[in-house]
Each structure stands twice: as structure tokens, then as C-alpha cells.
Amino acid sequence: MNSRRRRGFTLIELLVVISIIGVLVGLLLPAINAAREASRRVQCQNNMRQLALALNNFANRKNTFPAAGTWFESTATINATTNLPDPTTLSSSILTLALGTGSTVATTTMPSAGRTWVVDILGDLDQQDLANAWSYQQDYSDTTGNLGDSTAPPNGTLSNTSLAVLRCPDDNNYTPNEGNLSYVVNAGFNAFPAYPLYWIGYQSDGTPPTGVSAAGRQTTQLVWNTDPNLQLSIGQKLGVMFLQSFYRPTDLSSAQVALGNKQPPWGKSQTTFAGIVDGTSATLLLGESTLAGYSTGGNPSGSVQTNWACPLPNFCAFIASNYVCSGGTPATDDGNCATDFPTTYSTQTDAVNWRFASAAGTYENINFGQTLTLKGTYPFVTSGHPSGDNFAFCDGAVRYISSTIDGTVYSKLVTPAGSRLPLPFKQLPLSQDAFTQ
């Protein structure tokens, strides 16, 4: 009698099939994740392209790029005898809140903090309703009422509106339905070139490098030369968009108004297309930051809420590392270009110290800030992308640049007029093969 043959898989065959499926899944998952990351990166690039085009539209209308951040200057800077601006004084709100000695803010508002570059291009971003409602004579966080339109929400409400074009999908350091910001503008090597200061990067959340006190994180710097006019002229050649301020008419006396006090002692750094002599296709306009935009408050903004309209430079702009001055270690370097850089490289073009614009070990190199989460503690480029960052150029192009880019190349991308700098800061022309991929 013939026995019946059973049909089906043996246990060994089943295990082999499962193993094969497991191998295939293991091979496919990295490819799927890579495809998702590529998609997020492309979406980020599209956002940056829209922002770059909007900034270019503004520059074409006004013949200058907007300010990175706009402040209302205190009339305390006006000499009581002459009724003219006193260049030896600056707004205490700027020095303390924006670039001071690391102190926090005790109050819940910043009455002199006007707005950022985002507000100036809202209409170009197809956000005309927000642009029309914005009260340009009030600070960004004001919640008392809208002086421009009594029927419109106050600036504090408008600036917390979530705008998709302002957030990179790889930026995980954000709060849903709030005024997030993932993109920051190029402020060169000093966010405040008319009164230069340098920034010491955080080594970890809330902690400056070993040997540096928290109060010494931001320190007054004697940059380039003690002549304010030379400081300003060099500062403008190092970046594209900076802080500015003006007097509100309501803050001035009739005598001061008669003298035409519209522009205070600082804030005259403005960049035109003609000023980008190194070429718009080789000059950065926008970078990424996961440490800008919305926060409920904390060091260094104190109890003040921040968002895409907050003009504190560490919340709306990026700078390259100050260690180009002497290339020292984070614990000991003072970033003093007036005494360090010229002493060693006084006759050189393309001096070797430019490599420190983004150098590992300084805590200020591109994407080091991926380990940080506290907003406002890192005014250097950092993103959620795994190996680099998206950058928008002044001609509107957007490129992905590796975080390991040579610091000298990066410094030339940051400076719009490096070829017009005096020795020893003068830079040679940039080879586009050095940064294109």
C-alpha cells in the first residue's frame, strides 16, 4: 500500500524563507530611510528657495537687503545738550539682551525689540494678511493692542503664527502650532559689526567650554581696529544682514525731530547687490539653525518668549566662528583680531587662520550644535540633517554643503567682499569646485 505524500514546506525551508525575507527587509530599510531623508532635505531646500527669492524681491524694491533684526533705540543715546546721537553710548537693551555678558532678562517683554527680517518679507511670502496687520512701531512680543489697526491682533499673537515655509522638516527642536524658525541669515563674523563682540560656543546645553564662565560667553571684542568707521566698513564686508535700529517718532522730542534724528549711532550696516563684489553665486544668504525661533524663555532670553519675529541676533542670524582671529582654544582664546590676526599674518592674502571659520574642536563648527537643545545658545549653523546643511545663496540658488567643508572655503562663502578687505584679512577668489557637489 502506497503512503500518501504530504505537500507543504519543511521547517528548514520555512526558516530559510524567513531568513531571506529578513535580509531583504534589512537591505531595504536603510534605502527607505535614505529616501525619506532625501525627501525632507528637498522640502527644506524648497523652503529656503522661497525665502531667498523673497529676500531678493525686497532687495530689488529697496535696493538693500532687510536688517537681520530691527530695534527701537533708546533716546538715552541722545546727548542732552546737543540733541544729537552720542556715539559713545548704546541701547542698554541691546547690550544686555542681545550681546551682553550672558545675563538673562528679568522682565517679560522687550519694549525695544522690533522685528526680524521675516516680518519685512511677509508680503513676499504670500502672507499679506500678516504683513497688513503688523504694527511696525511696536515690539514683536507686544500683547497690549495693535496701534496700526485696532481691529487686528497684537504683534505678540501674529508672531506666534506657525508658517510652514519657516520650518525645516528635519528640525525636531520645534513646538507645534507656534512661531518656529529653522532658517537664519548671514551676519558674517559679528552679529553687531558696528560694535563688535565675539561669542564663545556652548560645549553642551547650558555649559560653556571648560575654563569659560557663563558670564563670559559673550564678551566685548576689539575687532580689526579701534576706529568705528573702519570697524563698520570691515564688518559690512564680512556678512550680508545685520542688526539695525531707529528712533520711533513718539520717543523723540520736537527738538530732536527737527534735527532729523532718525538713525542712531549704530545700525548703518546695509548690503546692496553692488556690495556683494565676490559674486552672489558665491555668497551665503541663509543657513539653518535648530536653535532659533520659538521658545518659552530661558538663557539667554530670560523669561521672554521668542519666535520668528524676535530680533535677538542669536535667534534670527548666524555667524561664522570668531576663532579666525587667533585660532586659539575655546578656553583661552579672546577672539581679538586687533592684536592677534595682524601680528602673525600682516602681509598675507588668504591667511591660514581663515580655516578656523569652521574647525572641529572649537564647538563653533558647522553642525556641532546638533548636540544642543536650548534655544539661543548657538548662533552658528546647525541642522537636523545627518552630514551637512542646506544653504541659500544671494542669487537664490540652494545647495547642500557638507559639515566637513574646509573652513577657509566656508569663510569665503560667508564674506560678500573678502577680496576688498585690507591685509591681512584679504581673501583670494573662491573656486566653485571647492563647495559644489
Residues ≥6 apart with Cβ < 8 Å to 59: 65, 66, 272, 273
As given in the structure block, the three cell numbers for residue 50 are 522661497
Give 298's strand partners. Answer: 302
Provide CB contacts within 8 A for 20, sequence distance 6+.
none
DSSP assignments along 364-382, one per residue: -STTGGGG--STTS--S--
pLDDT at residue 200, rounded to an integer: 77
> Long-range CB contacts (< 8 A, 24+ apart) of 42-46?
43/168, 43/169, 44/168, 44/169, 44/170, 44/182, 44/288, 44/383, 44/385, 44/390, 45/390, 45/398, 45/400
- Predicted confidence at residue 225, as pLDDT, reads 43
**Matching residue, cell 559679528:** 190
Res 328: pLDDT:
67
- Please report, as a single letter, which amino acid is at residue 323: Y
437 residues of the chain, pLDDT tens digit each: 555 555 666 777 778 788 888 887 777 667 666 667 778 889 999 999 999 999 999 999 999 999 999 888 766 666 666 666 655 555 544 544 444 344 444 444 566 789 999 999 999 999 999 999 999 989 998 998 898 888 899 999 999 999 999 999 999 999 999 999 999 999 998 766 665 666 777 888 877 777 766 555 554 443 444 455 556 678 888 999 998 877 777 777 776 676 665 556 666 778 999 999 999 999 999 999 999 999 987 656 666 789 999 988 889 999 998 888 777 667 666 666 666 666 666 677 888 889 999 998 888 999 999 989 988 888 899 999 988 999 999 999 999 999 999 999 999 999 999 988 888 788 999 888 887 75
pLDDT at 220: 44
